């Protein structure tokens, strides 16, 4: 009986490891998307600020 429980425990650990890796991969993917959106927003703000200073110079 203990051999069966050890095998089931090992299968559970393997399953949790695979699910954990997929969740981790998903979180990394979402983090990269959020970082790209944030950098794009900061880039737009920087461009608008530079255009305002350029037009005020003219």
In a domain, 10, yes or no: no
Query: 34 is in which domain, residue-wise?
Result: 21-58
Say how many domains are in the chain: 1
Q: Angle at Cα 37 formed by Cα 53 and Cα 30, nearest 5°?
A: 165
Q: Residue 1: its pLDDT value, please?
A: 60
In a domain, 46, yes or no: yes
In a domain, 13, yes or no: no
Cα radius of gyration (the chain): 25
Q: Residue 2: its pLDDT value, please?
A: 85
Report the alpha-carbon distance of residue 2 to residue 49 in Å, rounded.
69
Q: Residue 20: its pLDDT value, please?
A: 82
Report the alpha-carbon distance of residue 32 to residue 40 in Å, rounded.
12
In a domain, 11, yes or no: no
Dihedral angle at the C-alpha atoms of 7, 11, 17, 23, nearest 10 degrees?
A: -160
Q: Residue 35: its pLDDT value, please?
A: 95
Q: Residue 52: its pLDDT value, please?
A: 75
The reported pTM is: 0.59
In a domain, 7, yes or no: no
For the chain of 58 residues, list the mean pLDDT of each consecutive stretch of 10. Answer: 85 85 89 95 90 71
């Amino acid at each position: 009986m203990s051999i069966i429980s050890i095998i089931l425990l090992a299968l559970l650990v393997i399953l949790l490891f695979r699910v954990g890796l997929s969740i981790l991969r998903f979180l990394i993917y979402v983090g990269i998307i959020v970082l790209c959106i944030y950098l794009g927003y900061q880039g737009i703000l920087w461009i608008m600020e530079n255009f305002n200073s350029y037009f005020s110079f003219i």
